[in-house]
Amino acid sequence: MAKIGIGAWAGKIAVRIARGEVKFTISEDENGEYKIAVDLPGALRSAKISFMNLKEEADGKTLTGEGVISVLPGRKLTGAFTFEEDTFVGEIKAPVVGKIRITDGHRI
């Protein structure tokens, strides 16, 4: 079965501390697990993000998981990204910040 969302993607975020384009690459590691590398805009540019528990949902189009970000130590993020050919919609829930919607998601 093909993995969901493998490739390079971009979308826009607009939160109080950062606005602009977020870029990320989804790949597969040597164990067949998902791996995600992210470039964030603005004040979050230097933040480090780690992902875990990434899984494909039953709809065959959605990738969900958890993560941590260096600017919110000890706090867990949750996210869901639904892919449709060369586009996607995404949402991340972060403590303090709330829901972060990723809009205009597209393959790059």
Q: How far is CA 52 from the centre of its chain?
A: 11
Return the C-alpha torsion angle 56, 62, 68, 70, nearest 10: 130
* Alpha-carbon span 32 to 28, nearest angstrom: 5
Residue 43 pLDDT grade (very low, low, confident, very high; cuts 50, 70, 90): confident
What's at 28, amino acid-wise? E
Position 64 confidence tier, pLDDT thresholds 50, 70, 90:
very high
The mean pLDDT of the chain is: 92
The span from the first CA to the last CA of the chain, in angstroms, equals: 23
Q: Please check the confidence at residue 15 and state whether its pLDDT lies above 80.
A: yes
Q: Which residue has the higher pLDDT, 56 or 95?
A: 56
Rounded to an integer, the average pLDDT of 11-30 is: 92
Distance CA 17, CA 106 (A): 23
Q: How confident is the model at residue 1 (pLDDT cuts 50, 70, 90)?
A: low
